[in-house]
Structure 1
Amino acid sequence: MSRPARPAAARRFSLRPALVWAHRILGLSTALFLVIAGLTGSVLAFHHELDEWLNPSAYRATAAGTPLGPEALARAIEAGHPDRRVWYMTLETEPGHAANAAALGRIDPATGEAVPIPADVFQVDPVSGEVLAARLWGACCFSSLNIIPFLYEFHHNLSLPGVYGILLMGGVAILWLVDGFVGFALTLPRGQPFLAKWRAAFAIKGGSAFRLNLDWHRAAGLWLFVLLIILAISSVAMNLRREVVEPVVSLFSQLTPTPFSNPPLEKLAERTLSFDTMLETGLKEARARGWQEPASEIFFSPHYGVFGVAFGDHDDPMDTRWLYFDGETAAFRNAIIPGVGTAGDVFIQIQFPIHSGRILGLTGRILIAVMGVVIAGLAITGVAVWWMKRKGRVGRKAKARAGKASDARTKAMPAE
């Protein structure tokens, strides 16, 4: 018995129109944000080098002698303004290198929040304690001291207040991730031979402006598809780690709790233990673990009431090992060591090194700088393809309307 033929409507059904519509909406809604994120990210791949080139005096420490301890260095920075409270610093031991430090305003007992201060990021001579440069992180806009921190914040949250920019750019990253798979699906050919037909999508044939933009948009997206998806995932992790990435990852792999797994404190905590005490505590724990190098960073988080002491190269997140201690009792809380932990832990750990390119050293940073330009180019060519298609549709409709009007006039004319 022969199989009954499917209705014509069923034979004509295709998912492609829905994918085209989704790609158009997702692409147009994220294009401007991706251009901004791509171009600023390309610059920020070398943010430290660019900042040092723009502000050489901020990074050149000239005093000779033994570096100050972290508590004395914090006091030297805080002496410049009565409301400064240093919460982070690098522990520079190489002669001629400035230490980096960050501060919050003193905590207002009535509100539990930090009072505003005119500068919160500092480059400091680690021997003399002299503040070489002081700036408000993310302040607008294009002075040599402000340009790199401003671009950093603009890339991360469009310099919008509170969490609004963070959530917005995180949402854009999710849409970009989804659109990446939609765009990939649209390159898949219909009919056979599959590979022979698909091969054409990887080529840039050129010709008209429309053809060149379409080929570049499609081919670049295909050749770099894996890198683009990896970057999109890391972009989500940079803004929505707690809200999206950790819950999703925990479905597949257990995550080890950290001092930052719980919500932040309702009111900021005052630091009651000295940095010197916590440095010694960190060194003792590190030596017990067989780590012999000096500490490279130290901080106290008023938001979580936790001290952290780092060992390794603070410019290489894959080499930085952190020990965490209770802010009131100095009791050991946890350690985060790159590459150590569950599969989910390691996945979370590598997101920033991937996003910054530092997971592959200089090669990775160059790759990120190039990819930033490519991402902006994909967004621009996508908009160009849509605009040229739209112009064509509008033109065809106008011609059709003109033709109908002409026919109507011809029919209305009296016969001779």
Structure 2
Amino acid sequence: MILVKNTFKKTIRIIHLWLGLVTGLVICIVCLTGSIYAFQKEIKMLVYPYYTVEHHDAAERMPLSELLHKYQQQSDHDVMRIYDFNTPTRSSMLLTVKDKAYYYSFVDPYTGEILREVFLARDFFTIILYIHMNLLLGEVGTQIIGWSVVLFIFSLITGLVLWFPRSLKVFKSKKGRKSRFGVKIKGSKKRVLYDLHNVLGFYAASILILLAITGIAWTFTWVDNLLYASVTFEEKTEEKPVTTASATFDRIALDRLKKDVVPQRDNKDLFIYFLPTKDTEPIRVMSSIDDDEFGNSDDYYANADTGSLITTRFDEEKNAGQKLNSLYYDIHTGSILGFGGKLLVFLAGLIGASLPITGLMLYLNRLKKKKKNKVVVEVSDDEATATQNIEEMKNKIALLWLFLAVGFILHHIYGLAGIYFGKELKIEGATGETPGWAHYYRILFEIIILMLALASLEITKKWFKITSMVWAVLLGLFNVYHVIEAIMHEPSNTSEIIVLGWMVAISGVLIAALNRWRLQTV
């Protein structure tokens, strides 16, 4: 039993190490920018004077039609959205576009005067947001971020496994609890570094996993579908867009719509008016608590020429999956718990950014220690040499299994990412008879199985050596068959052929490594 536990922990440690080394830089950037963005609203309200206006009790906000008209007299930008606040001291915001460049235009709601037009490509928090989302690399960066965060989730899970003590007796003593839950500031530098990584990682892990899941739900359709299916137990269907008969937008319609909408939800501070871009497109209004909390939002659709309501979708009418979807932003930013939630996200982000750094430092210290304490093994000492070779072989096999896992992910989900960017998830063999979420769970199970293979690496009993060889050979034959089939039937699909060829090569090396390991451990 002890051997199995030790084996499991060693294998998990290898997985944790390599996941951290592969994703560390990206995760550090994502977490740091996330922490900066957590209090973006509070900082903007404090630093940017054009976010607020002076309010006199006798003054009334001008009608939206007049506000839009006055803005158009002062600017040649096209207006896409109007952000109208009930808070008397908030300025109105307009999302505008000119020559394919986007701006936030801030307007005094009492006079119609333009206070500031902010070019979003040069706005500090917009830049931080896009670094957080795609490293400023467009769709390529989105995929890099998304897959790094997927691996980060597994890194956090393996980290929690490593944090957990071998025996629960540790928690019974004060010293034991302190070693797991406290940072020994007065300890050696190595001990402090270990505690900063191990203890702080434990405190932040659950929050970071939640943030990571809600983050990749925006990146990957299949994650969003999986979350939807997990709470509704049914497959997500595409919602049909609301359309109207062809009509020309009349800004007077905004005034009628506001009179109908605002009294219905007096607890909502923000009403966002999405102006139609086509003749058959209605005006859409989304109401929310404020501009940093969208979980309890309502939607209204109205005719573009008259402002008369066509349909509504209130928050209480959403099913569990739709409700969860609308809460992604609030959960991800912490605004669902108010200021305290944002503070938790801020601190978790800082800890998350520090984990790759402290982890790398621990790894480098370990390498230095190994180099310093390295013992020269005599060639004649067959037993010592064999032991050393076996340890090296185990690490090699572990890495090969990890490479195969990556190959499975690439093949089953996106193929070579450069060709499949922007496309929805399509899984080979899906006929439509089986719900999509069932296929997503299949992929998850494959990953778990591969992790179990890693977990049993050091069990050198005869049955394991035989079964692991059989499994590796069958997997190799399957990969060979698959790559031949791809070449014969889809020769133009170079992405799949490359990935499958890579998996064939790894399978061959894995079989050879397992065979050498089998011979060395007789």
* TM-score, length basis structure 2: 0.60
Structure 2: which amino acid aligns with 1:30? Answer: T
Question: 1:43–1:292: structure 2 CA closer, same or farther, 3 Å change rule?
Answer: closer
- Indicate the residue corresponding to 1:25 in structure 2: 18
- Indicate the residue corresponding to 2:336 in structure 1: 359
Unaligned runs of 5+ in 1: 1-5, 106-114, 140-145, 405-416
Deviation (angstroms), 1:47:
0.9
Q: Aligned equivalents of 2:62 and 2:256: distance in 1? A: 14
Within a 5 Å distance, the mapping from 1:165-204 to structure 2 comes to 165-190=141-166, 193=169, 195=171, 199=177, 200-204=179-183
**SS in structure 2 of the partner of residue 383 of structure 1:** helix
Matched, 1:130 2:113: yes
Deviation (angstroms), 1:318:
5.4
Question: 1:185–1:262: structure 2 CA closer, same or farther, 3 Å change rule?
Answer: farther
Structure 2: which amino acid aligns with 1:353? Answer: D
Structure 2: which amino acid aligns with 1:335? Answer: R
Contact preservation (8 Å) 1:39, 1:372 = yes
- Indicate the residue corresponding to 1:110 in structure 2: none
Q: Aligned equivalents of 1:39 and 1:227: distance in 2? A: 15
Question: 1:181–1:13: structure 2 CA closer, same or farther, 3 Å change rule?
Answer: closer
Q: Aligned equivalents of 1:194 and 1:382: distance in 2? A: 24
Deviation (angstroms), 1:29:
2.3
Residues 115-173 of structure 1 show CA distances to partners (whole Å, capped at 9, x for unaligned) of 423x511111112222211122142xxxxxx2222222222222223x33333222222
Matched, 1:72 2:72: no
Deviation (angstroms), 1:23:
0.8
Unaligned runs of 5+ in 2: 380-522
Matched, 1:164 2:164: no
Matched, 1:150 2:127: yes
Residue 49 of structure 1: which of 39, 42, 64 is its match? 42
Structure 2: which amino acid aligns with 1:121? Answer: Y
**SS in structure 1 of the partner of residue 152 of structure 2:** helix
Query: What's the C-alpha RMSD, in Å, of the aligned pairs?
Result: 3.9
Deviation (angstroms), 1:11:
6.8
Question: 1:280–1:18: structure 2 CA closer, same or farther, 3 Å change rule?
Answer: farther
Number of corresponding residues: 369
Within a 5 Å distance, the mapping from 1:267-278 to structure 2 comes to 272-278=248-254
Within a 5 Å distance, the mapping from 1:61-140 to structure 2 comes to 65-82=59-76, 84-105=77-98, 115-117=99-101, 119-139=102-122
Q: Aligned equivalents of 2:4 and 2:49: distance in 1? A: 68
Question: 1:271–1:188: structure 2 CA closer, same or farther, 3 Å change rule?
Answer: farther
Within a 5 Å distance, the mapping from 1:360-399 to structure 2 comes to 360-397=337-374
Contact preservation (8 Å) 1:256, 1:345 = no
- Indicate the residue corresponding to 2:31 in structure 1: 38
Deviation (angstroms), 1:253:
1.1
**SS in structure 2 of the partner of residue 273 of structure 1:** coil
Residues 312-365 of structure 1 show CA distances to partners (whole Å, capped at 9, x for unaligned) of 53235257532232676976345151x653332332222211111111112212
Within a 5 Å distance, the mapping from 1:221-232 to structure 2 comes to 221-232=201-212
Structure 2: which amino acid aligns with 1:17? Answer: K
Q: Aligned equivalents of 1:137 and 1:271: distance in 2? A: 31
Deviation (angstroms), 1:257:
7.4
Contact preservation (8 Å) 2:87, 2:269 = no
Contact preservation (8 Å) 2:250, 2:304 = no
Contact preservation (8 Å) 1:91, 1:99 = yes
Residues 209-248 of structure 1 show CA distances to partners (whole Å, capped at 9, x for unaligned) of 22221122111222333222222222223433x3422344
Residues 180-211 of structure 1 show CA distances to partners (whole Å, capped at 9, x for unaligned) of 11111122333674755984433434533222
Q: Aligned equivalents of 2:291 and 2:7: distance in 1? A: 51
Q: Aligned equivalents of 1:60 and 1:374: distance in 2? A: 37
**More deviation in 388-397 or 368-377?**
388-397
Contact preservation (8 Å) 1:238, 1:352 = no
Deviation (angstroms), 1:293:
6.8
Residues 7-29 of structure 1 show CA distances to partners (whole Å, capped at 9, x for unaligned) of xxx97982333322221121122
Question: 1:226–1:293: structure 2 CA closer, same or farther, 3 Å change rule?
Answer: closer
Q: Aligned equivalents of 1:101 and 1:256: distance in 2? A: 36
Structure 1: which amino acid aligns with 2:275? Answer: F
- Indicate the residue corresponding to 2:8 in structure 1: 15
- Indicate the residue corresponding to 1:332 in structure 2: 310
Deviation (angstroms), 1:279:
5.4
Q: Aligned equivalents of 1:36 and 1:341: distance in 2? A: 35
**SS in structure 2 of the partner of residue 120 of structure 1:** strand
Structure 2: which amino acid aligns with 1:70? Answer: L
Structure 2: which amino acid aligns with 1:28? Answer: L
**SS in structure 2 of the partner of residue 14 of structure 1:** helix
Residue 313 of structure 1: which of 278, 282, 289 is its match? 289
**More deviation in 213-222 or 298-307?**
298-307
* TM-score, length basis structure 1: 0.74
